[in-house]
Amino acid sequence: MFWLLAIAITAIVSAALYYAAAGRVVNASPAAGADVVTAHFRQQLTEIETDIAAGRLAAAEAIAAKAELARERIRQQKEAASRLVARHGPVAVVLPASIAGVAAIALITYGLLGSPNLPAQPLASRADAAAADMNISDAVKAVEARLASHPDDIKGWSVIAPVYMQSGDYPKAEHAFRQILALAPPTADAETDLAEALMMQNGGQASGEAADLLHKAVALDAKAVRPRFYLAADAMRQKDYASAVTQWNDIIGLGTDADSWMATAKAGLAAAEAGRDGKPLPDASAAAPSASAANPGQNPAILGMVNGLADRLAKQGGPLADWTQLVRSEIVLGDLTKAQAAYDSARKAYPDAADRQELDSLAAQAGLKLDGAAP
């Protein structure tokens, strides 16, 4: 069936090509001088009509003259067609032979190299689609196999390191980030990435080598916000409020009110100032301006909104901004257990740490455990 269809289609295409390219009279444009000949015959016809009108030709003579003129016109057209066919005579042989040769070569070549019996390949079974649909586990194994034989492939390390972080394999993430720093000039992001991997293995504490890496990141890029957030949050945990005030002010100076992390930075500054001055930590007025400053935990309206937000996110999920608002609200209400639970759920919904910059900073500032342990 395949070969019958292939031969039929080839024959149809060859015929169409021959018809389009052959020197047929019906397809030929008028020869040079054709307009002059036509004008000559029209002039003769006009003269005959003039003689008839002047009475110089009788009716029978007029008919005979017109018939002769028509026969002469037909003879001229036949001669022009004969000359055209003669001019295209070689084409009548070469063109069919050329088209037949091309068709024969195509069929023979496919017969030798083609695979007419090969079954169709659905999109999902093709190599490129299979690669696109490869699950994370298979992809990680493929990259790891590549890195085992090419340990200097910085692109491979750059791809797999965030995957390790998302999956919670922090020791492997640490190793990958160290390889990136060893293979390329250090950057603020690379230093901070390695610091995050170390912090996640240390209960979120930015101490020791992690702290050194964060300071190095700030030295490499004075405008880097992410390492500054971790350093300021760690100063809060150590109750070094004076240093925290300076660091929060530096962070705030790097952005505008339009930045998503600005509210968290200002809340951190308010808490640091209160701690420095020996005052109670700020309540809802510092972290959530819409909450009751006097006693947000006893405000039924606020409790209703927070509980409603928590129920909606638990049932339907939602954007990261809503999770951040829920965690912030639970912190303001003083329920760190619920805040920790909301943070853990947000981490599962958004496993990419790069997307959770504001949320992770808020959790670190409040003393929540970044590894999912109880606060």
* HEC per residue, the chain: CHHHHHHHHHHHHHHHHHHHHCCCHHHCCCCCCHHHHHHHHHHHHHHHHHHHHHCCCCHHHHHHHHHHHHHHHHHHHHHHHHHHHHHCCCHHHHHHHHHHHHHHHHHHHHHHHCCCCCCCCCHHHCHHHHHHCCCHHHHHHHHHHHHHHCCCCHHHHHHHHHHHHHHCCHHHHHHHHHHHHHHCCCCHHHHHHHHHHHHHHCCCCCCCHHHHHHHHHHHHCCCCCHHHHHHHHHHHHCCCHHHHHHHHHHHHCCCCCCCCCHHHHHHHHHHHHHHHCCCCCCCHHHHCCCCCCCCHHHCHHHHHHHHHHHHHHHHHCCCHHHHHHHHHHHHHCCCHHHHHHHHHHHHHHCCCHHHHHHHHHHHHHHCCCCCCCCC
Task: Give pLDDT, residue 349.
Answer: 87
What confidence tier does 157 reach under pLDDT thresholds 50, 70, 90?
very high
What confidence tier does 52 reach under pLDDT thresholds 50, 70, 90?
confident
Residue ranges of domains in the chain:
2-113, 134-183, 185-257, 283-375
Q: Is the pLDDT of residue 246 over 90?
A: yes
Task: Give pLDDT, residue 362.
Answer: 74
Task: Give pLDDT, residue 293.
Answer: 35
What confidence tier does 214 reach under pLDDT thresholds 50, 70, 90?
very high
Task: Give the tens place of pLDDT for each residue, 61-80.
Answer: 878 878 887 888 788 777 76
Residue bearing the bigger pLDDT, 21 or 179: 179
Task: Give the tens place of pLDDT for each residue, 99-118.
Answer: 888 888 888 887 777 776 66
Q: Is the pLDDT of residue 251 over 60?
A: yes
Q: Is the pLDDT of residue 354 over 60?
A: yes
Task: Give the tens place of pLDDT for each residue, 286-329.
Answer: 333 333 333 444 444 456 566 777 888 888 888 888 888 788 77
List the single range of 25-29, 158-162, 265-269, 336-340 with lowest mean pLDDT: 25-29
pTM above 0.95, yes or no: no
Q: Is the pLDDT of residue 28 over 50?
A: no
Q: Is the pLDDT of residue 81 over 70?
A: no
Task: Give pLDDT, residue 174.
Answer: 92
Mean pLDDT, the chain, rounded, equals 76
Q: Is the pLDDT of residue 31 over 80?
A: no
What confidence tier does 123 reach under pLDDT thresholds 50, 70, 90?
very low
Segment of 45-54, 171-180, 351-360 carrying the highest mean pLDDT: 171-180
Residue bearing the bigger pLDDT, 288 or 277: 277
CATH classification for the domain delimited by 185-257, as one of 1.25.40.10, 3.30.70.260, 3.20.20.60, 2.40.50.420: 1.25.40.10
